[in-house]
């Protein structure tokens, strides 16, 4: 019995897929193994051994809830009507969207390893040359059921800067981060997906989400697609951290390297020089005495409190209240 196979390197050279044995006890189904073997033989016979496959570049698959999408960059020297695509030995050219400079293939693809062969005729100088490229990839399994979701499905007024946290009832596959997608008002929104442990995903939307938008996070699950729908908050007043070093009375944020100056007594070293002014007496005396003991120090205490000034009062419920809470990857401050 052959153990479950997984790609050692998604790039395939010399017409041979580079595979390594896994310690997993799962077995590769016989029909799938046969298809991959036939596909590898087909690739070899098709002349995929040429490592100089510059005119064709297959991008990493994007796994949606139902379809896997493969983007292919193609040289504009491709001769019309010569492009062919074979997935696991089957011709899927008719399912591809082709344009000048690229192609896209979106198909429902089973869990497990797959092999894609792309071939075409390209003009090089005054003659046409056959070029091909092959890619071996692994489709992740469907996700188990969600145990905890933040925000919950149906939430409204979700901050446009929020991250999304999913905790599942079972273990996730190795490629889980590639099988999640986010749309807001029907438009795909780019995301970074982080895996914590074996059952948690944290989805960080790139940039802010659109305000007052209907958003939907989707992923593959047993029996179909699962969604987490929520609505973002409308546009409000901007919130920010105050930072104004033109004010001689500003103490926050602290610590701040703004207060470091070159030390004339020790070339290449620095010292603290905190200067506060503009206060009425006796407040000025108090602040002078407060900073007098810091003069001459070469830095800040490693156990000092961190102080920032916000433009608006924060919601206390949105802040961590213990050191352990502040270390949570979803903490607003940490």
Region(s) of the chain under CATH 2.60.40.3710? 146-232
With a cut of 50, list the residues of the chain below it in pLDDT: 1-30, 38-39, 41-53
Q: How far separated are the first and last CA of the chain, in Å rounded?
A: 49
**Minimal CA–CA distance to 202: which of 150, 160, 155?**
150
- Which CATH architecture is the domain 5-139 placed in? Sandwich (2.60)
Gap between the Cα atoms of 179 and 242, Å rounded? 39
Q: What is the pLDDT of residue 31?
A: 52
Cβ burial of 244 (10 Å; 0-12, 13-18, 19+) is exposed
Domain(s) of CATH 2.60.40.2450: residues in the chain: 5-139
- Residue 168's pLDDT is 93
Q: What is the reported pTM?
A: 0.56
Distances (CA, A) of 219 to 85, 153, 180, 189: 26, 14, 5, 14
Question: pLDDT at position 108, please?
Answer: 86
Question: Which residue has tokens 């905190």?
Answer: 274
For residue 248, the model assigns a pLDDT of: 84
What is the spatial distance between Cα 173 and Cα 175, in angstroms, rounded to a whole number? 5
Query: Which of 110, 136, 130, 104 is CA-nearest to residue 20?
Result: 136
| DSSP labels, 300-321 | --TTPPPB--BSSPPPGGGS--
What pLDDT is stored for residue 285 in this prediction?
Answer: 85
Q: What mean pLDDT, rounded, does the chain reach?
A: 80
Fold of 146-232: Immunoglobulin-like (2.60.40)
H/E stretch holding 34 = helix 30-45
> β-strands 96-99, 102-107: how paired?
antiparallel
Distance CA 325, CA 330 (A): 9
């Amino acid at each position: 019995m052959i153990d479950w196979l997984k790609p050692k390197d998604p790039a395939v050279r010399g017409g041979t897929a580079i595979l390594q044995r896994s310690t997993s006890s799962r077995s590769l189904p016989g029909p799938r193994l046969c298809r991959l073997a036939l596909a590898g033989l087909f690739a070899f016979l098709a002349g995929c051994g040429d490592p100089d496959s510059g005119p064709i570049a297959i991008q990493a698959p994007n796994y949606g809830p139902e379809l896997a999408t493969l983007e292919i960059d193609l040289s504009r020297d491709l001769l019309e009507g010569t492009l062919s695509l074979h997935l696991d030995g089957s011709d899927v050219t008719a399912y591809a969207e082709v344009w000048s400079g690229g192609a896209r293939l979106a198909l429902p693809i089973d869990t497990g390893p797959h092999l894609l062969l792309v071939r075409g005729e390209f003009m090089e100088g005054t003659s046409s040359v056959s070029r091909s490229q092959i890619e071996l990839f692994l489709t992740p399994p469907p996700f188990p059921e969600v145990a905890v979701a933040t925000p919950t499905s149906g939430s409204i007024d979700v901050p446009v800067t929020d991250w999304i946290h999913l905790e599942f009832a079972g273990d996730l596959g190795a490629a889980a981060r590639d099988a999640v997608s986010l749309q807001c008002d029907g438009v795909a929104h780019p995301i970074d997906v982080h895996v914590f442990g074996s059952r948690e995903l944290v989805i960080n939307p790139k940039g802010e989400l659109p305000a007052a938008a209907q958003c939907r996070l989707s992923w593959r699950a047993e029996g179909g697609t699962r969604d987490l729908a929520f609505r973002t908050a409308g546009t409000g007043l901007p919130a920010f951290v105050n930072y104004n070093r033109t004010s001689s009375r500003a103490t926050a944020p602290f610590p701040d390297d703004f207060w470091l100056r070159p030390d004339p007594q020790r070339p290449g070293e620095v010292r603290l020089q905190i200067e506060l002014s503009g206060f009425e007496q006796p407040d000025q005396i108090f602040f002078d005495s407060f900073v007098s003991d810091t003069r001459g120090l070469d830095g800040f205490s490693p156990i000092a409190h961190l102080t920032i000034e916000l433009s608006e009062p924060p919601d206390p419920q949105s802040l961590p209240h213990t050191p352990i809470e502040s270390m949570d990857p979803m903490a607003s401050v940490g």
